[in-house]
Structure 1
Amino acid sequence: VIPNLEQLELRHLSDEGQFPLNFFHHVKVLKVNGGFHGGSPFIFFFLRRFYNLKSLEFDNFDFKHVVPCKGDVGTPSPIKNLQLTSSKNLKHIWKKDSELGHILSNLQTLTIKNCDDLINLGASSVSFQNLTTLEVSCCKMMTNLVTPLVFEKMVQLITMRVSDCTKITEIVANEGDYHQTIVVRNLKCLQLSNLESLTSFCPGSYTFNFLCLEEVVVEECPKLKIFSEGVLSTPQLQSVKQDSLNMNRCRAGDLNTIIQQLYMEKVGCHGLGDLTISDTFPELIEIWQKSPRAVLELTYLGKINFYKCSSLKYIFTSSMLLSLKQLWRIE
């Protein structure tokens, strides 16, 4: 035993038997680098020797040939922090009988970076119950992050950041048959950055109740049209920021309305106060017809252009027209 060894990095591990059984008794932080060969298939047998492990990182590790632990091989340490960087052949963080699944229930922090094979976190509703921080970035194959049931069971989650996942279209998947109100109890900060395919946080008509959500950051999400299609409650929301570093680019108000306004401005505005509505962007016409509040709160509008709007049934209701006090020209 090395009595004071608490942090350890292992590279190109191939022969776990070269170490005595009690060699890693006091290690709390472990990084496993798969190296050229992708790592050992018996890594999870080996991890049973780390009795006090709190933080684990897999870097450039290939999970394809990992051998699951069976029989009486001991229990894994209650790991609090897990980081997966450039991991290969990992489609779900949790799946039935997976070795990663056995260590998830105690996690407080989960960080995932550059895992190009990852599709989503998986479908277990009990695996992430102690998670407080979730950060996911640069996962090329990810199309959504979690199911509605898994998201609701993340009862301790405080911070969620998702960025640079080019194929992700939704954060919470639309499963259609989930009819309960999704109560999100502790989430305070949600950051969505550089998600070029994201169209909504959740496309399903679910009811979301974010009890503690205070800050939302939405930056470089050009296709984001609405936060949620269903009923949405955010009683503690203080601001929606367009830039995590620029405090001046923030707004307050109804979350769905702000997201719709940002989309309208991004697609239809040609300058401050100049908005164009046309069939080229049918989403704008849909917002114009279904969500007049998003239009009414654009109080700075001075000029509106309507061009080839064959699907538009009307231009204004009386209340809309009276609310746009800066409007001086319609074409």
Structure 2
Amino acid sequence: MKRLNALETLKTWECKSLEVVCEEIVVTEKEQEVVETTPPLFVFPKITSVQLCNLPQLTGCINASQLLSLKRLEVRGCDKVGIFAAEFSHFGKKYEMEPLMTSQKPLFLTDKDSFLDLERLSLFGMEIWDGPPPADQLVFSKLKSICFYGNCAPFSKQASVLFLQSLQNLEEIAMRQNSYERISGCTTREEIHVGAIGSGTLPSVRSLTLRWMDQLKDLENDNSQSLLLPNLETLELWFCSRLKSIESSAITFRNLTTLRVWHCDGFEYITSYSVAKSLVQLKTLEVASCQSVVVIVASNVGDDDADDAPGNEIVFSHLQHLGLLNLPRLQGVSSENCTVKFPSSVTLSVYSCPIKLKISPNGVLLRVIEDQSSSM
């Protein structure tokens, strides 16, 4: 293994029988005995990128302290592993109490020297953490981005939420290809862990991306008393076919600067008037290939909201780019009882839509009525 000390990238793919990635054999000076360490150890001090993909027999546990330079880690298709990581001390106590099934064992065991440089993490179908958050604040201290693939519910269990809260530099969360009905990770047949979301705000997270979540119905929080993402700046929704609007009790929109909605056929409108009023910092708005979208800003349907009276106005004073692409049912930007204004400098891109739009000199977005007589 010493000959691999300069290795910087490790990619392990499609090894159907692989159970352990690397074991260290230690020879004691006195007894000259060969002792297999537990857990197995990596011995790659310069490695910066690891991919463990489609290893159905992989069990772990891996000592994370041997990956001091690791910056990027991807784990997917490791079906026997149900938990990404836990601390040595917590796992040891748990194991002493009763033997654990393979799915209950973490893939990585951590201590004070673990994952000090890790910046990007991608997980497929496993819980991110087991036990209390890391005792040492330097562990995972540089982690900025986490992508959860498959039925991985980062907000459904107390241990996961508390772990995410401990990541002071976490900026981006992405969820992809899962079957949950809410971003908390619960279906109507599941119960969320009591208190898991109660005070589980993630103030450092600036970006949330949801892709290929066919069962997602809304962006609500199971505990409506708590904002999960109070400082979100970027929200991207892709291929969420059952989602109907961006309305959410988990997110506050006052800091949102970028909103992208692509291939979400359940949307008839992107936001209600009341939510649109809070988008005061919005700079980029893109809506594309949403087959049912009629307007971007709709009336507060069913609400007796005085702010929704005819003649009301929304001013997106910071908007720099508005893109509308392939919206076959689009009739306008807003309902008839609302006027939407933009800066005159905004970049307007409208393609493959049944209407044409222009910005008037005073910033009002207007529908262009074509002169039918000119074509006769």
TM-score normalized by the length of structure 2 = 0.56
* 2:77 corresponds to: none
The 3-state SS of whatever aligns with 1:134 is: strand
Report the CA distance between 1:11 and its aligned residue.
1.3
Q: Does 1:157 pair with 2:274? A: no
The 3-state SS of whatever aligns with 1:9 is: strand
* 1:48 corresponds to: 165
Question: Where do 1:1-331 residues align within 5 Å?
Answer: 1-14=114-127, 16-17=129-130, 21=134, 23-34=139-150, 37=151, 39=153, 41-42=156-157, 43-64=160-181, 65-66=185-186, 67=192, 70=195, 75-94=201-220, 97=223, 101-103=227-229, 105-122=230-247, 127-175=252-300, 178-179=308-309, 180-211=312-343, 214-222=346-354, 224=355, 235=362, 255-256=365-366, 259-261=368-370, 275=373, 301=374, 304=376
CA distance in 1, matches of 2:215, 2:206: 23
| Contact 2:319–2:342 (8 Å) recurs in 1 | yes
The 3-state SS of whatever aligns with 1:198 is: coil
CA distance in 2, matches of 1:31, 1:82: 10
User: Which segments of 5 or more consecutive residues in structure 1 lack a partner in the other structure?
Assistant: 237-253, 269-274, 276-300, 305-331
| Change in CA separation of 1:38 and 1:96 when aligned onto 2, cut-off 3 Å | closer
* 1:319 corresponds to: none
Root-mean-square deviation (CA), in Å? 3.3
Code of the residue aligned with 1:91 in structure 2: it is K
| Contact 2:126–2:152 (8 Å) recurs in 1 | no
CA distance in 2, matches of 1:51, 1:99: 23
| Change in CA separation of 1:73 and 1:127 when aligned onto 2, cut-off 3 Å | closer
Q: Number of aligned pairs?
A: 241
CA distance in 2, matches of 1:99, 1:54: 23
1:28-72 deviation line (CA, Å, top 9, x unaligned) = 1111112xx454642545423423201111111333453367278
| Change in CA separation of 1:107 and 1:74 when aligned onto 2, cut-off 3 Å | closer
Report the CA distance between 1:193 and its aligned residue.
0.3
* 1:311 corresponds to: none
User: Which segments of 5 or more consecutive residues in structure 2 lack a partner in the other structure?
Assistant: 1-113, 187-191
Report the CA distance between 1:183 and its aligned residue.
2.2
The 3-state SS of whatever aligns with 1:171 is: strand
| Contact 1:94–1:101 (8 Å) recurs in 2 | no
The 3-state SS of whatever aligns with 1:149 is: helix
| Contact 1:38–1:60 (8 Å) recurs in 2 | no
Code of the residue aligned with 1:191 in structure 2: it is G
Code of the residue aligned with 1:260 in structure 2: it is I
Code of the residue aligned with 2:351 in structure 1: it is E
Report the CA distance between 1:12 and its aligned residue.
1.4
CA distance in 1, matches of 2:360, 2:300: 20
| Contact 1:166–1:197 (8 Å) recurs in 2 | yes
Code of the residue aligned with 1:112 in structure 2: it is L
Question: Per residue, is there more helix in 1 or in 2?
Answer: 1
CA distance in 2, matches of 1:100, 1:85: 24
Question: Per residue, is there more strand in 1 or in 2?
Answer: 2
1:66-125 deviation line (CA, Å, top 9, x unaligned) = 33672786642421111111124322234573599411x311111111111211011669
CA distance in 2, matches of 1:123, 1:234: 34
| Contact 1:14–1:39 (8 Å) recurs in 2 | yes
Code of the residue aligned with 2:334 in structure 1: it is C
CA distance in 2, matches of 1:98, 1:163: 30
CA distance in 2, matches of 1:162, 1:56: 21
